[in-house]
């Protein structure tokens, strides 16, 4: 839909733009003013109050593209102005092979956004005056290749959605500076990034797109091959630092290599894009229950984190471009302090002791709290993931609640299971797979209790993966103290689905009917309700957070009928993304205008 698609055209049908070839001409075609007229207008408003910049809102014809000035900022310190640069595909002359299908268009858009960002740095428009004057930016994102609003294809054009700080001295418009910024620097940025491409740029574009398509091709095959993830031989998994998504320097990093027992091969559509040749070799992580063991600092978390982020594609040079995971994998962690609303956590937590003075205890089948404990929060995270269709769970001992993960034999001997509300994960993980088809990949260096239930055991030893499945099983068989674990008191049930209610969505704040904001990957404030997202580790990009904030509102307005389950409401939202792209989430719903910086979030 982001490319040559009918829905895109109809969505943009109400734009007051000149007709494009093949489209119905507008009845009274008034020629749009050109870049010289834009410069003249800007010169004229030099020295006037900042609001005078409003005069340039609208559409301006440049020789290579059309500049849309959708919204001029209110003052030099406000969010920068929102502009779009629309380049006819004829002018951009991208290699035709780059845009073959939807996957390729998303990848090409990601490459074009990165190229645009690089070009901004290279041209380096002069920062002028107060506030954000002279600042030019595009929301090109981080390491993950996500569908985003920054670059979008129409039938005949490709568009960059950018932000520009219009320069001011105090609160007076610096019209001359603005003229050189918009008619000179911006043109140079756009042409250098997208139009005056060299052969090597086109090679880089095609390699990027091919590499992403190779990953998608493997992602689509994982299920039928009985796998939840693939880690390519040669992948560089560690990052340069804990706070960075850039790869560790090659001379410091041990490249990944698969143990023979887990070795798999995938035929990919494009040779030499991501890895050499047309066959990618690496480690296949099977469905079922896989345990990753090893001493501290031997690289377990690093592998898990790479898999966690491989639910989406990575570009060449990232180090993780040959790591591919099932898109239904959900990282689960303890998240003490989180709110829980009507979640069925009975599989893990049941028979709470009654509160003092009460006869009966709180039910855990529709459990709510504003401040969950470590184990309760982890149980809720699992129930919610399964509720909306997770195919597998990723758990790391570093971020799990110990009493949720294990309960050893000695403790079972001392405290009777009847008096323990928590059924530890180790006693449910088998049934999660056998009965519900939900796999688990568990990083666990501290307890051998999981040997009994694991289908495969991988050891990380000095950053090398080894197959230790047989050894782990031998240890179970020869363990003389091995007392069989008592079966859980109740069989596993699929957690009850929830139906969201309208009353749960109140977007009012102060005098505003609708006020929704977000901060980084950390928080959404919906009306006056704060939603803490720090525990959602697979939220990769602040633009995804913004998209979730908008999606919540779309859901509240259009999605919730108090009949449909949360799972099916989310289907609806994903359908909207597929049909209209993320532009459909523009909180102001000004069709065809700059929609803000959004990236596609996962349903989880």
Cα–Cα nearest to 193, from 273, 133, 138: 138
CB of 290 to ligand ADP, least distance (A): 15
CB atoms under 10 Å from CB of 79, counted, come to 12
Q: How far apart are CA 169 and CA 128, in angstroms?
A: 8
From 34-42, 397-405, 512-520, 531-539, give the range in contact with Mg ion by CB under 5 A: 397-405
The residue count for binding Mg ion (CB under 5 A) is 2
> Could you say whether residue 297 binds Mg ion (CB under 5 A)?
no
Contact indicator for 310, 229 with CB cutoff of 8 Å:
yes
Residues of span 463-492 touching ligand ADP by CB under 6 A: 463
Among 296, 353, 354, 437, binds ligand ADP (CB under 6 A): 296
Q: How far apart are CA 334 and CA 400, in angstroms?
A: 5
User: Residue 15 touches which of Mg ion, ligand ADP, none (CB < 5 to 8 A by kind)?
Assistant: none
Contact indicator for 193, 115 with CB cutoff of 8 Å:
yes
> Could you say whether residue 514 binds ligand ADP (CB under 6 A)?
no
Q: Which is nearer to ligand ADP, 253 or 536 (CB)?
A: 253
> Could you say whether residue 35 binds Mg ion (CB under 5 A)?
no
Nearest 5°: CA angle at 530, between 528 and 532?
Answer: 170
Cα dihedral 438, 256, 599, 199 sign: negative
Q: How far apart are CA 34 and CA 39, in angstroms?
A: 9
464 Cβ neighbours under 8 A, 6+ residues apart = 254, 257
Closest CB to Mg ion: residue number = 301
Q: Which is nearer to ligand ADP, 302 or 391 (CB)?
A: 302
Site string for ligand ADP, 368-397 (x = CB under 6 A): ------------------------------
Output the DSSP codes for 174-204: -HHHHHHIIIIIHHHHHIIIIIS--HHHHHH
User: Residue 287 touches which of ligand ADP, Mg ion, none (CB < 5 to 8 A by kind)?
Assistant: none
Among 5, 175, 282, 294, binds ligand ADP (CB under 6 A): 294
Q: Which is nearer to ligand ADP, 396 or 580 (CB)?
A: 396
Q: Which is nearer to Mg ion, 443 or 468 (CB)?
A: 443
From 58-66, 195-203, 290-298, 485-493, give the range in contact with ligand ADP by CB under 6 A: 290-298
> Could you say whether residue 302 binds ligand ADP (CB under 6 A)?
yes
Q: How far apart are CA 551 and CA 601, in angstroms?
A: 10
Q: Which is nearer to ligand ADP, 301 or 550 (CB)?
A: 301
Among 66, 180, 301, 544, binds ligand ADP (CB under 6 A): 301
Q: Which is nearer to ligand ADP, 337 or 446 (CB)?
A: 446
Residues of span 261-280 touching Mg ion by CB under 5 A: none
> Could you say whether residue 258 binds Mg ion (CB under 5 A)?
no
User: Residue 35 touches which of Mg ion, ligand ADP, none (CB < 5 to 8 A by kind)?
Assistant: none
CB of 245 to ligand ADP, least distance (A): 13
Cα–Cα nearest to 17, from 130, 159, 113: 159
242 burial via Cβ count (<10 Å: 0-12, 13-18, 19+): exposed
Cα–Cα nearest to 106, from 213, 180, 228, 231: 213
Q: Which is nearer to ligand ADP, 454 or 560 (CB)?
A: 454
Output the DSSP codes for 379-405: HHHHHHHHHTT-SEEEEEGGGS-HHHH
User: Residue 362 touches which of ligand ADP, Mg ion, none (CB < 5 to 8 A by kind)?
Assistant: none
> Could you say whether residue 371 binds Mg ion (CB under 5 A)?
no
CB of 301 to Mg ion, least distance (A): 3
> Could you say whether residue 301 binds Mg ion (CB under 5 A)?
yes
Residues of span 22-61 touching ligand ADP by CB under 6 A: none
> Could you say whether residue 398 binds Mg ion (CB under 5 A)?
yes
Site string for ligand ADP, 237-256 (x = CB under 6 A): xx---------x---xxx--
Pairing mode, strands 392-396 and 329-332: parallel
| Structure token digits, residue 491 | 């069989």
Q: How far apart are CA 300 and CA 443, in angstroms?
A: 7
User: Residue 509 touches which of Mg ion, ligand ADP, none (CB < 5 to 8 A by kind)?
Assistant: none
> Could you say whether residue 257 binds ligand ADP (CB under 6 A)?
no
From 44-52, 137-145, 188-196, 391-399, give the range in contact with Mg ion by CB under 5 A: 391-399
Q: How far apart are CA 429 and CA 218, in angstroms?
A: 26
Contact indicator for 424, 415 with CB cutoff of 8 Å:
no
From 60-68, 237-245, 293-301, 586-594, give the range in contact with Mg ion by CB under 5 A: 293-301
Burial letters for 12-37: b for 16+ Cβ neighbours within 10 Å, e otherwise?
A: beeeebeebeeeeeeeeeeebeebee
The residue count for binding ligand ADP (CB under 6 A) is 16
Q: Which is nearer to ligand ADP, 460 or 555 (CB)?
A: 460
CB of 302 to ligand ADP, least distance (A): 3
| Structure token digits, residue 106 | 């998303």
Burial letters for 290-324: b for 16+ Cβ neighbours within 10 Å, e otherwise?
A: bbbbbeeebbbbbbbbbbbbbbbbbbbebbbbbbb
Q: How far apart are the first and last CA of the chain?
A: 22
Residue ranges binding Mg ion (CB under 5 A): 301, 398
Residue ranges binding ligand ADP (CB under 6 A): 237-238, 248, 252-254, 294, 296-302, 460, 463
């Amino acid at each position: 839909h982001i490319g040559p698609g009918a829905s895109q055209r109809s969505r943009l049908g109400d734009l007051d733009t000149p007709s494009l070839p093949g489209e119905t001409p507008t009845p009274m075609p008034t020629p749009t003013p050109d870049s010289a007229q834009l410069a003249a207008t800007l010169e004229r408003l030099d020295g006037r109050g900042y609001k005078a910049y409003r005069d340039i809102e609208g559409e301006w014809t440049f020789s290579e593209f059309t500049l849309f000035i959708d919204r001029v900022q209110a003052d030099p310190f406000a969010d920068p102005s929102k502009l779009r640069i629309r380049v006819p595909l004829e002018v951009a002359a991208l290699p035709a092979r780059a845009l073959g299908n939807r996957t390729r268009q998303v990848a090409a858009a990601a490459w074009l956004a990165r190229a645009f960002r690089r070009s901004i740095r290279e041209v380096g428009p002069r920062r002028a005056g107060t506030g954000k004057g002279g600042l030019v930016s595009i929301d090109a994102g981080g390491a993950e290749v996500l569908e985003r609003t920054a670059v979008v294809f129409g039938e005949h054009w490709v568009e960059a959605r950018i932000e520009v700080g219009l320069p001011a001295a105090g609160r007076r418009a610096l019209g001359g500076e603005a003229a050189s910024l918009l008619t000179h620097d911006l043109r140079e940025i756009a042409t250098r990034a997208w139009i005056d491409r060299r052969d090597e740029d086109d090679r880089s574009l095609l390699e990027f797109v091919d590499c992403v398509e190779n990953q998608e091709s493997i992602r689509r095959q994982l299920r039928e091959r009985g796998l939840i993830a693939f880690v390519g031989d040669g992948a560089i998994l560690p990052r340069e630092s804990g706070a960075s998504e850039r790869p560790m320097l090659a001379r410091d990093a041990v490249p990944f290599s698969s143990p023979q027992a887990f070795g798999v091969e995938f035929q990919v559509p494009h040779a030499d894009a991501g890895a050499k040749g047309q066959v990618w070799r690496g480690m296949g992580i099977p469905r079922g229950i896989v345990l990753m063991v090893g001493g501290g600092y031997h690289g377990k978390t690093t592998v898990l984190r790479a898999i966690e982020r491989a639910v989406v594609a990575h570009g060449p040079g990232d180090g993780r471009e040959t790591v591919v995971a099932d898109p239904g994998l959900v990282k689960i962690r303890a998240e003490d302090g989180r709110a829980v609303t009507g979640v069925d956590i009975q599989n893990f937590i049941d028979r709470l002791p009654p509160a003092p003075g009460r006869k009966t205890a709180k039910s855990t089948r529709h459990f709510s709290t504003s401040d969950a404990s470590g184990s309760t929060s982890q149980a809720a995270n699992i129930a919610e993931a399964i509720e909306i269709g997770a195919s597998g769970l990723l758990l790391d001992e570093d971020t799990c609640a110990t009493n949720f993960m294990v309960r050893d034999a000695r403790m079972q001997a001392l405290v009777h299971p009847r008096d323990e509300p928590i059924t530890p994960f180790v006693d449910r993980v088998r049934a999660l797979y056998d009965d519900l088809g939900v796999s688990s990949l568990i990083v666990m260096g501290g307890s051998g209790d999981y040997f009994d239930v694991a289908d495969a055991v991988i050891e990380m030893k000095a950053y090398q993966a080894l197959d230790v499945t047989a050894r782990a099983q031998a240890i179970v068989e020869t363990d003389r103290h091995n007392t069989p674990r008592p079966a859980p008191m109740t069989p596993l049930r699929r957690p009850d689905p929830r139906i969201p209610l309208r009353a749960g969505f109140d977007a009012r704040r102060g005098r505003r009917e609708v006020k929704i904001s977000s901060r980084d990957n950390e928080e959404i404030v919906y009306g006056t309700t704060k939603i803490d997202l720090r525990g959602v580790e697979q939220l990769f990009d602040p633009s995804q957070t913004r998209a979730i904030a908008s999606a919540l509102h779309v859901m509240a307005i259009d999605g919730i009928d108090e009949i449909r389950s949360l799972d099916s409401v989310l289907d609806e939202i994903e359908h909207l993304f597929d049909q209209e792209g993320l532009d459909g989430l523009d909180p102001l719903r000004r069709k065809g205008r700059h929609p803000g910086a959004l990236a596609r979030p996962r349903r989880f």
